[in-house]
Amino acid sequence: MPEMRFEIEWPDGTRETCYSPSLVIKEHFEPETEYELNDFMMRSRTALQEGSDRVKAKYGFPCSAALGQLQRLETASTQYRDRSDAKVKLLKFLE
């Protein structure tokens, strides 16, 4: 299963490299695109869960790395929830 990484920029300019267990992330995001925080999190939940489900279908167990990545995004996003203008930018896919 082709895993990949992708780089994001949080509203405060902090950059983070994230993990996806499959290329499914490309179905939910575009490079160099900003997303409202809630939209970014919704897309992340969907994409990383789909990636984990693909691993489960193939290997019989969910992808703990994808679910861990989602938890890290959930935790990091909480510090920006009070900002009405909070946007997260998907900078690029790292293939």
Q: Are 69 and 18 in contact (CB under 8 A)?
A: yes
Whether the model clears a pTM of 0.85, i.e. scores above it, the answer is: yes
Per-domain residue ranges for the chain? 4-94
Q: Which runs of consecutive H residues, i.e. helices, occur in 1-95?
A: 37-59, 64-77
How many Cβ atoms from other residues are within 10 Å of residue 65's Cβ? 16
Alpha-carbon distance of 6 to 47, in angstroms, equals: 12
pLDDT band at 1 (very low <50, low <70, confident <90, very high): low
pLDDT band at 95 (very low <50, low <70, confident <90, very high): confident
How confident is the model over 30-52, as pLDDT tens digits? 999 999 999 999 999 999 999 99
pLDDT band at 85 (very low <50, low <70, confident <90, very high): very high
Alpha-carbon distance of 50 to 56, in angstroms, equals: 10
Alpha-carbon distance of 17 to 47, in angstroms, equals: 16
